[in-house]
Amino acid sequence: MAEVLEVNEQNFDSEIAKAGKPALVDFWAPWCGPCRMMHPVIEGVATDVGDKAVIGRCNVDENQGLAQRFGVTAIPTMIVFKDGEQSSTMIGVTSAEDIKKKLDIA
């Protein structure tokens, strides 16, 4: 079972930007109800995609620099990165199917 990586300002470049495979980062905060609703969805996606993609979670309260770097103004925001570049963005509660389509790892 793949685990959801805790992404922060210190490990973003090594774990996400240079991952060598698609990556998803869920920008969230503990006080955000919809964010908490997304936790089991994100964990399910991580299990489903296994080692084909990196799935991470970034607490915006603790990593405001990353949120600013990627223009996160609402949460939950999920950003897909491919080859280290921002590929697509999903804002709000999103289905696992939609997330996996954006990762495009069939």
| Active-site annotation, residues | 32, 35
For the stretch 80-102, what's the b/e string if a residue is b when 16 or more beta carbons lie within 10 angstroms of its beta carbon? Answer: bbbeeeebeebeeebebeebbeb
Looking at residue 55, the DSSP 8-state letter turns out to be: E
Query: In angstroms, rounded to a whole number, what is the distance separating the alpha carbons of residues 35 and 45?
Result: 15
Which of 3, 2, 5, 1 has the alpha carbon at shortest distance from 57? 5
